[in-house]
Amino acid sequence: MTCDFCYRRCDIAEGGYGICRSRAVKDGKLLSPHYSELCSAALDPVEKKPLYHFHPGTKTLSIAEEGCNFFCSFCQNYEISRHHKEHVCIDEDTIVDIALNEGAPSISYTYSEPIVWQDYMLSVAAKAKGKGLMNIMVSNGSFSDESIKRILPFIDAYNIDLKGDERFYNGIVKASAIPVRKGIEKISNYGSHLEVTTMIIEGIHNEGMIREIGRFLSDAGVKVWHLTRFFPSYMMDDRKETSEAYLTRMYEVARQCNIPYIYRGNSISHDDTICPNCGTKIDRYVTNGVCNHCNAVIYGEFI
């Protein structure tokens, strides 16, 4: 049987699993054996996703099932992306109730890869919308054509990782950038809030790669781009962390790519939000989404 959750479209035999280990076939049925089994849950600042232009200053209830369809050598969450044995079953109504009781205006599907547990995510998201909550998806962006159509009506904001160029994906992620780029374009065209993250690995990401990614993001209509520092992890734990100087060098290249809001992350640098029209500093936590100097619209959703 063929799973259409992600671009890989795994053909799964009876008793077998998809590459993500989150989809299986049992008794002739394609199913999610870990449905509603959460391996992580926390109340996070929405900026941690990172989302800087979507209700900044608020908390979001972050949840995750195990599972991922990528094999990133640098995975920051490898403990839960595969074979995590500890979990707690929490039904959809309870998740929504927790968010409401905690005063969180949103629920985030994050930490692992929600594309591979999208059945649970969409069930929670539908109930959350019914209670006036917003839904956030933090994803590698490797949707199938079918799944992006299912997901778009239910998710209010996305942070999508665009990790590198196709060579980077083939060698270090064991995946492809093509479906990720298609997903970014479809989310942007749909009009959902979108921010993109690229983690910079010194000695691998270079000016040419950043310039090419920036051109693509600009053409796709992306307004917010996060460049974050790599820290040693998983199978790349012997590699040196990206220096602040190298991150800043890539940041300066990115600033030439016609993307109005670019931020450095995992860094001592704290970049201000600047009006792209007049250059006025914007306080994201008090703005109504309009520059108080020139009245230009600031991209995002603000309280």
| pLDDT at site 86 | 81
Assess contact for 20 and 68: CB atoms under 8 A.
yes
pLDDT value of position 79? 82
Cα radius of gyration (the chain): 19
CB burial of residue 294 (10 Å; 0-12, 13-18, 19+): exposed
pLDDT for 78: 86
Q: Which of 67, 65, 63 is nearest to 18 (CA)?
A: 67
Strand, helix or coil for residue 26: strand
Position 84 scores a pLDDT of: 64
Q: In this structure, are residues 223 and 274 in contact, taking their beta carbons and an 8 Å threshold? A: no
Query: Are the CB atoms for 81 and 237 separated by under 8 Å?
Result: no
The confidence score (pLDDT) of residue 252 equals: 98
Quick one: which H or E segment has residue 246?
A: helix 244-254
Q: Report the alpha-carbon distance of residue 7 to residue 178 in Å, rounded.
A: 9
- Gap between the Cα atoms of 197 and 137, Å rounded: 13
DSSP letter for 112, please. Answer: S
Rounded to 5°, the CA angle 266-269-273 comes to: 105
pLDDT number for residue 150: 98
| pLDDT for position 301 | 98
Q: CA angle 143-23-235, nearest 5°?
A: 75
Domains and CATH numbers, the chain: 35-271 (3.20.20.70), 273-303 (no CATH)
pLDDT of residue 85: 67
Burial 45-55 (b: 16+ CB within 10 A, else e): ebbebbbbbbb
Q: Which residues of the chain have pLDDT under 70?
A: 82-85
pLDDT for residue 43? 98
